[in-house]
Structure 1
Amino acid sequence: MNNNVEDHPLPPDDFNNKRLPTSEYSQPWYRLNPVGYDSAIYFDRSGKGRFDSFNANYGILYAGQNERGAFIETFGRTLGVRTVSGAALQQRNLFKIASGRPLVIVDIWGVNLTKLGVDARISSGSYQVSRAWAKAIYEHPQQVDGICYHSRHDDTEICCGLFERTATIFQEENLGNLIEQNPKLLAEILKHYYWLTHKLKFCSRCFNTLSPLIRT
């Protein structure tokens, strides 16, 4: 495929003949899910996500490798804003998602950028390019479970996009919202990112943990 010099390359025509560099992941993944849904195992076909299918013929489950990644991907999308309201926090429950077997993943970061023929723009540049590469990896004969990439909002965090063919292998646990059930974790995350929170309605047991981080 022909591209302008300044453009990121698209997958080559012989991509299916190349061996994908894969890793196995056995640890759980994390999502901050809207409280109106009982399950966080959701394979997005909306066409809004970075690695979504062009024509919605498969879904992608997006998650963070840890709780910080899930937080910053959910609340860190507006640049320059380093506060989060209590109402917003209470509208999300933290879920831990585990798989019944190791996941075979293509890492789109580190040395694999060169192996695949991509660069760091794959996780921060054009969605059209990202989706073209995700489609090529999804359709590759190796039939991998998904991709891992650096969060655009914190490039020290790893996120995943898991393909819908993995849907039957997951178990999940609802850990509750960050304010009431996980105040210590929330305090650690806010301190890590130098964030504050505001408009909190406290339960008594989490006041001492979070009160230093309240903006009045």
Structure 2
Amino acid sequence: MYSLDDYSSVNLKTKRIMAGTVLFRVYSEEYHQTLGVDAAWYFGKTKDNRFDDPKQEYGVLYCGTSKEPTILETLDHSRFIAKIIDKTQKITFVTDKDLVMRNMAAIVLLDNLRLVDFTGTGYAINDVSFDISNCPRSEAQKYSRKIYENPHGYDGIIYHPRTCPKFESIVLFENRIKKPDLIWDGNLNEDMREECIDILFDHGIGYIPNND
């Protein structure tokens, strides 16, 4: 079993994503207004997300090979709990505002990716015996930092997201691959509201059309 420090030096098991693969990315509409189409390739350093750099020195970008994990992982942080019928029955939902505030981009890779693989059965691949998708965020960030420092030069991490573990989410490290081509960009509310609502409903999340 590897120690945490081992992750900065050992040859880790990887999953390859080939050039030409389309990835999906959800990001803030605020970034879109500031950076335009470059917002789709923005690497954050906030420490607010699971695999962010704890030292805030390198940026990370979160994306997926399908739309579902990118939408669910992003909107999960904005969920509200509303009481309905009685004090014991609850429903989880998002609002118009949650969709208006976010855009989705489809990007196509120009490079092959080598991603440290945390998608193994029981999360044991690469000698992690715990669920890295559900452990404390500060713990996952330590692993991100060590993997980034590894001299084998991995491009990022692939893992099962907490909100929809049958899918795969990807973390990309800043300055490791060429900027991909942008093939589509749109607002979740204006351009793909119905599709978003269907995805949310399929995963037990409700939607209300206003903030009242």
* CA drift at 1:10: 4.4
Aligned residues: 194
Alpha-carbon separation, structure 1, partners of 2:165 and 2:192: 24
How far is 1:99 from its partner? 1.5
Tell me the alpha carbon deviations over residues 84-135 of structure 1, each in whole angstroms, 9 at most, x when there is no partner.
Answer: 1112212211111222022111111215943422134322112232122112
Aligned residue in 2 for 1:4: none
Question: Are residues 161 and 19 of structure 1, via their aligned partners in 2, closer, same or farther at CA, if it must alter by over 3 Å?
Answer: same
- Higher relative contact order (Cα pairs below 8 Å, separated by 6+ residues): 2
Write the distance in 2 (CA, Å) between the matches of 1:14 and 1:199: 46
Query: Which residue, 4, 8, 11 being the options, matches 2:4?
Result: 11
- TM-score (normalised: structure 1): 0.77
Unaligned residue ranges in structure 2 (runs of 5+): 82-90
Q: Which amino acid aligns with 2:26?
A: L
- State the Cα distance separating 1:174 from its structure 2 match: 4.0
Residue type of the alignment partner of 1:25 = I
State whether structure 2 residue 107 is matched by structure 1 residue 97: yes
Please give the alpha-carbon distance, in whole angstroms, between the structure 1 residues aligned to 2:169 and 2:80.
Answer: 19
- Contact 2:99/2:193 (CA < 8 Å) preserved in 1? no
Task: Give the match for residue 28 of structure 2.
Answer: 34
Q: Is structure 2 residue 43 aligned with structure 1 residue 43?
A: yes
User: Where does residue 56 of structure 1 map in the other structure?
Assistant: 56
1:57 Cα shift?
1.9
2:151 alignment partner in structure 1: 141
Letter in 1 for 2:103: N
The counterpart of 1:25, out of the listed 8, 17, 23, is 17
Query: Sequence identity of aligned pairs in percent?
Result: 25
RMSD, matched Cα:
2.7
2:163 aligned with 1:150: no
Structure 2 counterpart SS, 1:123:
coil
- Give secondary structure in 2 for the equivalent of 1:175: strand
Superposed CA offset, 1:125-155 (max 9, x none): 1223212211221111210110011111221
The answer to whether the 8 A contact 1:175-1:181 is kept is no
Matched with 2:192 is 182
**1:195–1:14: structure 2 CA closer, same or farther, 3 Å change rule?**
closer
Amino acid at match of 2:62: Y
Describe the superposition over 1:52-80 as per-residue Cα deviations: whole angstroms up to 9, x where unpaired: 11212211111122111111111123485
Which amino acid in structure 2 is aligned with residue 11 of structure 1?
L
Q: Which moved more, 1:122-131 or 1:181-190?
A: 181-190
1:198 corresponding residue in structure 2: 208
Contact 2:122 2:129 in 1 (8 A): no
Which runs of no fewer than 5 residues in structure 1 stay unpaired? 1-7, 201-215
Quote the Cα distance in structure 2 between the aligned partners of 1:10 and 1:100: 34
Query: Residues 185 and 141 from structure 1, CA distance in 2 versus in 1: closer, same or farther, beyond 3 angstroms?
Result: same
Q: State the secondary structure of the residue aligned to 1:144.
A: coil
Matches of 1:63 and 1:173 in 2, distance apart?
15
| Inter-partner Cα distance in structure 1 for 2:24 and 2:7 | 35
Report if the CA contact (8 A) 1:10-1:132 is conserved: no
